Amino acid sequence: MMPGARLTTLLIVTSFLSTAGHLGAPVHSGALITSHNVSSLDITSKIHTDHDTTTEASSDFGHIVEATPDGVFRPTFPADIAALIRLSLSQPTAPFTVAPRGKGHSSRGQALAAGGIVVDMSALGGRGHRTTVSVDGMFVDAGGEQLWIDVLHAALEHGLAPRVWTDYLRITVGGTLSNAGIGGQAFRHGPQISNVHELDVVTGTGEMITCSPEVNPALFFAALGGLGQFGVITRARIGLEPAPKRVKWIRLAYSDVHTFTTDQELLISKRASGSGFDYIEGQVQLNRTLMEGRRSSSFFSASDIARLTGLAIETGSAVIYYIEGAMYYDDNTATSVDQKLDALLEELSFVRGFVFVRDASYVEFLDRVGREEQNLRSAGAWDVPHPWLNLFVPRSRILDFDAAVFKGILRDTNPIGLILMYPMNKDKWDDRMTAVTPDEDVFYAVGLLRSAVAGGSDVEQLERENAAVLELCDLAGGIGCRQYLPHHASRDGWRRHFGAKWGRVAELKARYDPRAILSPGQGIFPPPLSPAAAASEPTTASAHTASS
């Protein structure tokens, strides 16, 4: 159906609908759920169909996929989202799809909805801050639309902070919790999804449900890491810790991968003792990038880069690696932190002399990519295609991966962007969630975070390299990687991605979004069926299992 025609139908149907009083009250109201009567007129008046608005919601940070929605919905309250979903389900033909959009910082169209309705989550609460900190409870209740940078500042007002951070903070609570939310603190505390106590979720049946490990646990574990498939997260209760004040921010250089990974694994094994880093990541710098790339970065000065280039030449290494670590400290530990750092460095085998230390406030450190964003924006290099590929690589195969990818497929390339590589402990991931990781105690997050600055041909080349990496990784007989922030073009790809969890994923979908209207941009389930077609299907779960 043409976009305009679909929307006209929607408006006609809406005028016959009764109020959201009948649309289902919250099963249990959390702190941010506001119960109010939502009239059908309220709902349609919040759907914007003008060209500029729908165009803006047609692409994302990746700039690779485009899909135009029929409209963009700007909810004031979570109940508005419930009403929108009920409106979709009441359509006489097929329901329209509904895609919550955080900041649209996905790379492959995951927050898009071709011919459906995109929910602009940032409108919730009339753009006020929906964060409430409980000092006694050591948690923050944050709206799903909240940016992590705002959650940070709200918590810091009480001297507290969440424990786990993504590298970039201008992404939303609901967006990262739908994936996992990984970063340098995950080796100790697990991903962000392992640090949530409670959620408010609007399901694909239009119910507003509060859930936790004790109450409605199936929905809780489905929504966390659920790729937006089972409900819209409108509030998350996130655990807090006393906020550190300052950070020793360190990079250590390595010219060989074995020593680099041995040290990284030693460091993540120190998670229980107080003697290690509080944050551990790592980067891979290809030789050609060192020779021809930027002469300085927000961390390295021009002379640092000259030294690193010299190291690559001297050792004949095709790749230089850095461990990036952070040691938190405050007024009480300011006098002892250097000693603690020196003792730790003694245990490590980086190239002697190649240690780089910065001193930063906690906020400066956490918001480092925000500063990088400003630099890239001024250079016109932010709004470019980002064919990013993120993988989890089993520890037992990381050296094979390194040899085949960094010293093979990418050997003579000069990528613009970053390559990340750092290990995590699997026991910090909760297997009741549908997020998938390799089947080993330790696995590496590898991010090929490359930008295509030269236009179309550049994208094609990067995509060819990504395809070669994915072929190498293929589960059966390959390196056995799993994609993070996954994208699969076929149902079979998704089945293999979820592996043993596929049956559970399909069952949860049948329970919480049986018409498959939510987050269609992920491409996991086929678009919604009309009621007649749906009636002839046994269940969504078995239908999808059978068709895949």
Ligand X SMILES: Cc1cc2nc3c(=O)[nH]c(=O)nc-3n(C[C@H](O)[C@H](O)[C@H](O)COP(=O)(O)OP(=O)(O)OC[C@H]3O[C@@H](n4cnc5c(N)ncnc54)[C@H](O)[C@@H]3O)c2cc1C
Q: Which is nearer to ligand X, 75 or 514 (CB)?
A: 75
Residue 377: other Cβ atoms inside 10 A: 11
Asked if 507 contacts 214 with a C-beta cutoff of 8 angstroms, the reply is no
Q: Counting contacts by CB under 6 A, is residue 429 touching ligand X?
A: no
Pairing of strands 319-329, 279-286: antiparallel
**Residues of this chain, 154-183, that bind ligand X according to CB under 6 A:** 166-168, 171-172, 174-176, 178-183
Asked if 131 contacts 140 with a C-beta cutoff of 8 angstroms, the reply is yes
CA 92 to chain centre: 35
| Binder of ligand X out of 69, 95, 228, 282 (CB under 6 A) | 228
Q: Which is nearer to ligand X, 165 or 329 (CB)?
A: 165
Has 488 been annotated as catalytic? no
Q: Counting contacts by CB under 6 A, is residue 424 touching ligand X?
A: no
**Residues of this chain, 121-160, that bind ligand X according to CB under 6 A:** 121, 144
343 by Cβ neighbours in 10 Å (0-12 / 13-18 / 19+) ranks as exposed
Please identify which of the residues 60, 70, 80, 167 carries the catalytic annotation: 167
Q: CB of residue 444 vs ligand X: minimum separation in angstroms?
A: 14
Q: CB of residue 82 vs ligand X: minimum separation in angstroms?
A: 13
Helices (H), 168-228: 173-177, 186-189, 217-223
Q: Which is nearer to ligand X, 350 or 368 (CB)?
A: 368
Has 314 been annotated as catalytic? no
Contacts 24+ apart (CB under 8 A), 540-543: 540/506, 540/509, 540/510, 540/513, 540/514, 540/515, 540/516, 541/503, 541/506, 541/507, 541/509, 541/510, 542/506
Q: CB of residue 60 vs ligand X: minimum separation in angstroms?
A: 6
Q: Which is nearer to ligand X, 181 or 514 (CB)?
A: 181
Q: Which is nearer to ligand X, 103 or 504 (CB)?
A: 103
Q: Counting contacts by CB under 6 A, is residue 186 touching ligand X?
A: no
Please identify which of the residues 42, 120, 207, 281 carries the catalytic annotation: 281
Can you tell me the distance from the alpha carbon of 392 to that of 438, in angstroms, rounded to the nearest whole number? 7
Can you tell me the distance from the alpha carbon of 68 to that of 3, in angstroms, rounded to the nearest whole number? 9
Closest CA to 192 of 153, 155, 145, 240: 240
CA 490 to chain centre: 21
Can you tell me the distance from the alpha carbon of 318 to that of 86, in angstroms, rounded to the nearest whole number? 57
Has 241 been annotated as catalytic? no
**Residues of this chain, 300-339, that bind ligand X according to CB under 6 A:** none
Interface size with ligand X, residues (CB under 6 A): 37
Show the binding pattern over residues 51-90: x = contacts ligand X (CB under 6 A), - = does not.
---------xx-----------------------------
**Residues of this chain, 461-500, that bind ligand X according to CB under 6 A:** 485
Can you tell me the distance from the alpha carbon of 428 to that of 419, in angstroms, rounded to the nearest whole number? 24
Q: Counting contacts by CB under 6 A, is residue 10 touching ligand X?
A: no
Query: Hey, what's the torsion of the CAs at 224, 225, 228, 233, to 10 degrees?
Result: 30
Show the binding pattern over residues 361-390: x = contacts ligand X (CB under 6 A), - = does not.
--------x---------------------
Q: CB of residue 183 vs ligand X: minimum separation in angstroms?
A: 5
Can you tell me the distance from the alpha carbon of 502 to that of 513, in angstroms, rounded to the nearest whole number? 16
Residue 395: other Cβ atoms inside 10 A: 18
Q: Counting contacts by CB under 6 A, is residue 97 touching ligand X?
A: no
Q: Counting contacts by CB under 6 A, is residue 244 touching ligand X?
A: no
Closest CA to 163 of 129, 199, 194, 130: 194
Q: Which is nearer to ligand X, 71 or 312 (CB)?
A: 71
**Residues of this chain, 345-364, that bind ligand X according to CB under 6 A:** none
Q: Which is nearer to ligand X, 14 or 434 (CB)?
A: 434
530 by Cβ neighbours in 10 Å (0-12 / 13-18 / 19+) ranks as middle
Of 74-82, 225-233, 475-483, 507-515, the segment contacting ligand X by CB under 6 A is 225-233
Catalytic positions, written as ranges: 105, 167, 281
Residues that bind ligand X (CB under 6 A): 60-61, 99-106, 110-111, 121, 144, 166-168, 171-172, 174-176, 178-183, 227-228, 232-233, 369, 485, 519, 521-522
